[in-house]
Chains A and B, each alone.
Chain A
Amino acid sequence: MEQPQLGNGGAEAVLNLEPSSSISIAYHSLFGPHDDLILLELDEKLLPDILQQRITLRGQPDEDAVLYTGSKTYGIKFVGNSNSALLIPPSDQTEFCENSLDCKRKDDDQQGVASVIKVAPGNMELVEVAPRLDKLKLLLSENPYTFQEDLEMEDLEVVEKGNTGLYKWDDLVEKVQASDEELRSELQALSAVEIGGYWRIVDVKHMDTILRMLFHNSVINDWSLDALNEDEVVSMLESDGYPHKLAHHCLHVYGNKVDENLGRQVWKLDERRVCVHFAREILKEGKRKMESFMKEWMQKIPEGMQASFDMLEGEVLTERLGVETWIRAFSVSSLPSSPAERFSILFRERPKWEWKDFVFLPSLFLLPFSCSYSQVVFFSLV
């Protein structure tokens, strides 16, 4: 009884088995459960990302693990296999050589032995998922930046406050199930700003104060809202006591950059964003009769801007009570991202919906992948 040779053969011998030849399959000298070996099935198109080390797995202990490429998020699922999958590594796989001799052994025999290191019980699969970005808003809303902080510190780069409840980029990456790109774009959507290394949502009242100051200054200095000079605006706001960072942020939130003019950065205020800001302000206290709302809204809008009702798409709900139409704030973008939660909130608002109500909330339908349109139709038939 001869002991089979170890080490020569391997995966390459199995895969390249010539016609009219054979090879012995044996248990590897290091055969075992090897729970540290995991099989992961993935699309060919993700291979470059993984091979260039651009992929990370993230997850909190109480959440399922999630895989991220730079731009997308995938859930990881284990799929069992009732077959016996005998895994055979290449003969020179360094992790499984008992000594250097095994690896360097020449192929003296006509046949080698292909050694099975493990029987795989199954593999991991990837399922593309929508990023769970709700958590980001939750985290950043714990400590919105208010005017108090403006007063408390001269230098925004020094954060005296304790670290709890404030999050840097790395903290957010740890805690939020989203790829870097998705995270960045959500921070943008939330109008978050990085202050002293921490990402913050600025309290709406505070933003309102800064915005009004900006209008006030434009009137005094006869600035055009379509062509605001960044340096002028920022220095004027700074002299009014607002931090440089926030002045900048205000332009960012309510305006758009326009091409540089002779080396000076120019901004144009975005009509829609400004008008929506004032609409939200009016409806903050509760619902209003349509006529009264429209009148106040038109008054609040700055000179030179035009407000139109379709700007409020996705931001308000209207309902008829008797002969009158009422309007109130209802931000679709604040709805949770899971379809079940979204519909539960909608139905709590109102037990019955008509199709025409949805006409004014088209952005409601931008749901994560798992919601099918048939689900939507079913609910709207109630």
Chain B
Amino acid sequence: MQIRVKCKCGEGKCPEWAVVELQGVVEAQPSFQDRLQNLEIGVLCRPSSQPVYTFKVGYHELTGSKVALKKPMLVLQKTKRTGTGDTDVGTDTNSSNVELQVIGIIRHRILFKTRPKPLISKPQPAVKEKASAPGAVASNQTA
């Protein structure tokens, strides 16, 4: 069985994806488990010119940084070709309908490794289950 790895993008033009990486699991409130689409997870902030970031999820704040990956990662999409059947006789060729397409590349991730810091005295908590419009939050932050 042979799968070709295809790439439409060509060198240097591969769309770059972003990764926000947290330790642990992000969970929505039970009533929202089935309709996660479009739900806000949190707000990512960059307080200064350093590549330091904070991520507010619900009542917690995480601190992290943007790091370059040691080795780039490719985002591949597996597709099944639906075209006309092969007229090849002999060894199995039905497997040649699977294709892998390179659709993106990841070179950096924003990695959060700290323990979540509870935010107690916030006037407007960005509650997980509400899909609220993000306000301008940069100035609210305490280091």
Footprint of B on A, CB under 8 Å? 1-4, 6, 10-12, 14-15, 17-31, 36-44, 47-48, 50-53, 55-61, 67, 82-90, 92-93, 95, 110-111, 113-114, 116, 119-120, 123, 163, 171, 173-175
Whether a CB of chain A sits under 8 angstroms from the CB of B67 is no
Check A26–B132 contact: CB distance below 8 A: no
Check A119–B5 contact: CB distance below 8 A: no
Identify 19 new A-B residue pairs, CB closer than 8 A, beyond the known A23-B43, A93-B15: A11-B18, A15-B16, A15-B66, A20-B138, A22-B46, A22-B136, A24-B42, A26-B41, A26-B131, A27-B39, A28-B37, A39-B76, A40-B73, A44-B72, A51-B14, A51-B102, A60-B1, A84-B22, A87-B19
Q: Which residues of chain B come closer than 8 Å to A44, judged between CB atoms?
A: 71-72
Footprint of A on B, CB under 8 Å? 1-7, 9-11, 14-26, 36-49, 53, 55, 66, 69, 71-79, 90-91, 100, 102-104, 106, 108-110, 130-134, 136-138
Separation in Å of the B109 CB from the closest CB of chain A? 7
Check B15–A84 contact: CB distance below 8 A: no
A-B pairs with beta carbons under 8 Å apart, 28 shown: A2-B133, A4-B40, A11-B17, A17-B46, A21-B45, A22-B45, A22-B136, A24-B134, A25-B41, A37-B76, A37-B78, A40-B73, A43-B71, A50-B74, A50-B102, A51-B10, A56-B2, A56-B5, A57-B100, A67-B5, A84-B24, A84-B26, A85-B20, A86-B26, A86-B41, A89-B75, A95-B77, A116-B41
Separation in Å of the B20 CB from the closest CB of chain A? 4
Partner of B41, one of A27, A29, A40, A83: A27
Partner of B46, one of A11, A21, A51, A84: A21
Looking at chain A's contact residues, the main secondary structure is mixed
Whole-angstrom CA separation of A67 from B2 in the bound complex: 10
Q: Which residues of chain A come closer than 8 Å to B109, judged between CB atoms?
A: 85
Q: Which residues of chain A come closer than 8 Å to B2, judged between CB atoms?
A: 56-58, 173-174
Check A41–B73 contact: CB distance below 8 A: yes
Q: Which residues of chain A come closer than 8 Å to B40, judged between CB atoms?
A: 4, 24-26, 113
Partner of A6, one of B38, B110, B138: B38
Check B16–A26 contact: CB distance below 8 A: no
* Residue in chain A with minimal CB distance to B16: A11
* Residue in chain A with minimal CB distance to B55: A25
Q: Which residues of chain B come closer than 8 Å to A12, judged between CB atoms?
A: 16, 18
Separation in Å of the B55 CB from the closest CB of chain A? 7
Check B19–A86 contact: CB distance below 8 A: yes
Check B134–A111 contact: CB distance below 8 A: yes
Check B46–A83 contact: CB distance below 8 A: no
Whole-angstrom CA separation of A310 from B74 in the bound complex: 51
Whole-angstrom CA separation of A42 from B70 in the bound complex: 10
Check B100–A29 contact: CB distance below 8 A: no
* Residue in chain A with minimal CB distance to B110: A14
Check B46–A19 contact: CB distance below 8 A: yes
Q: Which residues of chain B come closer than 8 Å to A51, judged between CB atoms?
A: 7, 9-11, 14, 102
* Residue in chain B with minimal CB distance to A44: B72
Whole-angstrom CA separation of A93 from B141 in the bound complex: 32
Separation in Å of the B24 CB from the closest CB of chain A? 7
Q: Which residues of chain B come closer than 8 Å to A61, judged between CB atoms?
A: 1
* Residue in chain A with minimal CB distance to B39: A27
Known contacts A47-B72, A51-B11, A119-B26; decide if A27 and B108 are in contact (CB<8 Å): no
Whole-angstrom CA separation of A89 from B14 in the bound complex: 12
Check B106–A39 contact: CB distance below 8 A: yes
Whole-angstrom CA separation of A109 from B20 in the bound complex: 22
Whole-angstrom CA separation of A97 from B121 in the bound complex: 38
Check A22–B137 contact: CB distance below 8 A: yes
